[in-house]
Amino acid sequence: MNRLSMHIKRILQFCITGSCAVVLAACYGVQVEEMYNNLVQKKLTCTSESNEPIPGLKVTVTQNGQPAETLSTDSVGTAEFLVEEGKTESYTVHIEDVDGGDNGGDFASETFAPDSSKDEYKLNMTEKTSQ
């Protein structure tokens, strides 16, 4: 009898724990879905003055001066980031060459504010001048 009650107890614990996990996951999923419904994807492409893609640039997206997302340009010089729909003016995008000449040049940093009417940005990065 003792063995049977232990088995039943384990089954009940599994069911209760699993049910709680499912309920929490379902609630969390709704919050995440609502958050992503208000986000708009923007695409950035960085090229050199000779129109070659620049990989490995650090892209920092800030909202109201606070870091929102940090990423790097890929092998074709692109990076995709998210901004909150209707609040584009609160964002700033800063592009920085953190690896020096490893990506084909030593490029000057650039900063721009995304525009709500534009989904793609093409930046022609300039090389730093020797001093």
In this predicted model, what pLDDT tens digit does every residue of 96-129 receive, in sequence order? Answer: 998 877 777 889 999 999 988 899 999 999 988 7
Q: What is the mean pLDDT of the chain?
A: 82
Q: Identify the band that residue 86 occupies on the pLDDT scale cut at 50, 70 and 90.
A: confident
* pLDDT single digits (tens) 44-63: 999 999 999 999 999 999 99
Residue 9 backbone phi and psi in degrees, to 5: -60, -45
Average pLDDT over residues 66-73: 94
Residue 12 confidence (pLDDT): 63
- Which pLDDT score, from 0 to 100, does residue 131 have? 47
pLDDT value for 21: 54
Distance (Å, whole) CA 79 – CA 122: 11
Mean pLDDT of 62-75: 94
pTM greater than 0.75 (yes/no): no
Q: Residue 84 has which token pair?
A: 């909150």
